[in-house]
Each structure stands twice: as structure tokens, then as C-alpha cells.
Structure 1
């Protein structure tokens, strides 16, 4: 009995890690890491987009580059395991800042849920199907300034970000 419970905890931990890795990949524009969160034949329905993993990655990359910053936060995560399959409902909030066509910088925030089916193959969990449910959104014109005083630790939207360097 304890062995089954431990196995379930480890499976849930692995699924949570995929969810968190997805957020890092999105926020750091790490397209290869993003691709690795999904099985090759996975599907994603994300706002106006519906398609395969590779189609999603090709669609979301240019969309994210329009923003100067994104930050995805995950909250409640409910995972139901069923052998080598799992269903997960994940609540989150995503912040976006950028300059769409025109000269005004906008901040955009969305409350959402990821409703996912995960599949385990060769001991590895990945997304098999995802639907993103947008619960609410808000947008406002932003001041162009940046709060100073944070030195070298400014965020980067690539693998030069501090998260990849592992500070000592």
C-alpha cells in the first residue's frame, strides 16, 4: 500500500515538473524545452489556436516575441492518475508586457486553466493533449519605465537567464 502511494506521489511530482518546465520554456522563449513538454503527436487548443505540438510551437514562438516579458504563475494543480495516463487541471495567472503595433506599451494579464491529459512512456510523463481555458483577462497602458537597482540580474528571454546559470 505504501509503495503504491509513493509511486503516485512520484508520478504527481513528475507531472508537476512538466507543468513548471512548460512555464519556464514559455517565459524564457526556450522553444526546444517547450517542445519537450509534449509528446510528438500531442494536441493543443490554446485560445484561437488548435493543432499539433509542432504547429503550436511554431505559432506561439512569434506570438511571445511580440512581448518584452511574460511571467506565468501556476496555482492549484489537481492530478488524477490512471495507470500510464493522467488528467490534470491547473489554475494559473499569466502576465504579459509588450509593445504591439503602435507606440503604446500594454500590460496584459489572464487567469486561465490548463486542462491536460498526460501520458507516461518509458517512465517519462509528457502532455498528450491540452486545452487552455481563459477565465478572465485585463489590459492596461503601462509606464515605459523600469524599476532600477537590480544590477546584473535582469531577466533574459533565452538560455542566458540566471535560471540556466545556477548561481553559486
Structure 2
């Protein structure tokens, strides 16, 4: 294969890995997450760091106080170097956090930042070997929306419309079991 085509394939495989990881984090799926990291990988999120197993235990099942998350990925800048690569991916992550009734109940918060990932390609597969999280901004959006009321004054017509980190309707949809 010519080098330019291989670079396109490698870059897309890296972007796909980052997207699968975000999907796995939002669903707290150990299987999806495990498929994106090398077993001996390391991470440093500034507030927590360590080896991959520590990361997995931190994310799955996730803190009881964090009810939902959504990671929206922006551009990924990639520098390839043979079977190694460095990638910077912009991320905006939403979190619904239960602060407890005495501290205002559920709140919606948002963080903007960047993942600095070191990737390695082994046996044709790209996975994360190291990740550092950089934080660019954070905002408390206030009291969480009450999804039982619908959205913008319109009630939902079915139970599956409000997205959830657990029991997500998209899983059934992808499996062809959604009605």
C-alpha cells in the first residue's frame, strides 16, 4: 500500500478509537473502554491518574454522584511516527452531578479540554498507551433539567427519548431490536 493511503487509514483508526472510547465512557461499558487502551497504559487527568485498571475502576461504574455524561469530540490533530502517534483531541464533556439535596440537588456542568494521547499500533491495531487530560474551561450550568417534563415544553412520546448513561436506547437501535 502506498504511504499516503496508509496514513489516511492510520489516522481514521486513531479517530475511531477516540470515538469508541467516548462512547464507552458515556455508557460506562468496560468492554468498549478496554478495547481502546493497551493493558499497561497510563493516564493522568490531573484529579486522578495511574494505570489502566485504575482508570477503568474510576470510570466503570463511575461515581454514584455522576448520573449522566456526554463527551462531544472536536478535531483530532495527529502526528504519525511509524507504529507510534501523538494525538490531541478537543472535547466538551457534559456531566449531570447529584450534589445532594442539601447542596442544590442535581446540577448540569460542562468541561472543555483536550486529550493528549500517545498511541501505539500493535498487530495492525491502534490503541492508547498514555493519556493526559488538559482542562481549558469549566462551567456550572445550574439546576439540572427535569426530563420527566419533556423538552422545551413538549412532553416526550416514549420512555426512550431522554438519553441515559445506562440502559441507553441506542444500544437496542444498533442491535436492530428497537421498535
Give TM-score scaled by structure 2 length.
0.84
Question: How far apart, in 1, do the equivalents of 2:55 and 2:65 lie?
Answer: 16
Structure 2 residue 37 is matched with structure 1 residue 56: no
Per-residue CA deviation, residues 97-139 of structure 1 (Å, 9 max, x unaligned), is 1313335111110001000100000001000000000111011
Aligned to 2:164: 156
Aligned to 2:123: 122
Q: 1:68 to 1:9 in 2, by over 3 A?
A: same
Query: Are the equivalent residues in 2 in contact too, given 1:29–1:64 (CA < 8 A)?
Result: no
1:26 CA displacement: 0.8
Aligned to 2:99: 100
1:59 CA displacement: 1.8
Unaligned residue ranges in structure 1 (runs of 5+): none
Question: How far apart, in 2, do the equivalents of 1:112 and 1:137 lie?
Answer: 9
Aligned to 2:141: 140
Aligned to 2:73: 74
**Structure 1 segments (4+ residues) deviating >3 Å:** 62-65
Query: Are the equivalent residues in 2 in contact too, given 1:35–1:54 (CA < 8 A)?
Result: no
Query: Are the equivalent residues in 2 in contact too, given 1:97–1:106 (CA < 8 A)?
Result: yes
Q: How many residues align?
A: 166
Give SS of 1:110's match.
Answer: strand
Q: 1:99 to 1:52 in 2, by over 3 A?
A: same
Unaligned residue ranges in structure 2 (runs of 5+): none
Aligned to 1:34: 33
Aligned to 2:89: 90
Question: How far apart, in 2, do the equivalents of 1:150 and 1:126 lie?
Answer: 40
1:141 CA displacement: 2.4
1:82 CA displacement: 0.6
Aligned to 2:43: 44
Question: How far apart, in 2, do the equivalents of 1:13 and 1:164 lie?
Answer: 23
